[in-house]
Structure 1
Amino acid sequence: MWLGLLIPFFGTTLGSTVVFFVKNKQNELLSRCFSGIASGVMVAASIWSLLIPAMNQEKNILVIVPGIFLGALLLLF
């Protein structure tokens, strides 16, 4: 159990340390690369941790699809 908590903790700490030390030295391309990596990780986390368990729990896809679209609309506003 502790290993499952420590791995994300150290990963987040390492990532924030890197950003803290290079924030004044970043160029636009490097900033875009970091943003792309972060967004990819968040999309993967939301799919594996939220959407796939929801689909396994609820077999009726007509219940899940409106929830996904409602969540996307809420994010836009």
Structure 2
Amino acid sequence: MAADNFDWNDREVIAVPEQQAIAVYTNPHHQVVLRFHDADEQEDRWVVIAPEHVDRLCKALQVEAAHAMKQKEANDNE
């Protein structure tokens, strides 16, 4: 999906619904874009990532998510 044709109603590009929606697509410069929907309909925010860094980013996100889930579980058990 091209950035100039972006549509928040296209559920195929939304990776994380119900919180601040996050869409993932490739821009015309062949970069990966994470686009964050602004619920107040101001201006969306985005992060542009060179494709060669996506695997490292995903691994870092998984490490942080596992850490956060362990902390949440520990707090829930207190």
Instruction: Give me the TM-score of the superposition, normalised by structure 2.
Output: 0.34
More strand, by proportion: 2
Higher relative contact order (CA 8 A, sep 6+): 2
Between Structure 1 and Structure 2, the one with more helix by share is: 1
TM-score normalised to the size of structure 1?
0.35
Larger radius of gyration: 1
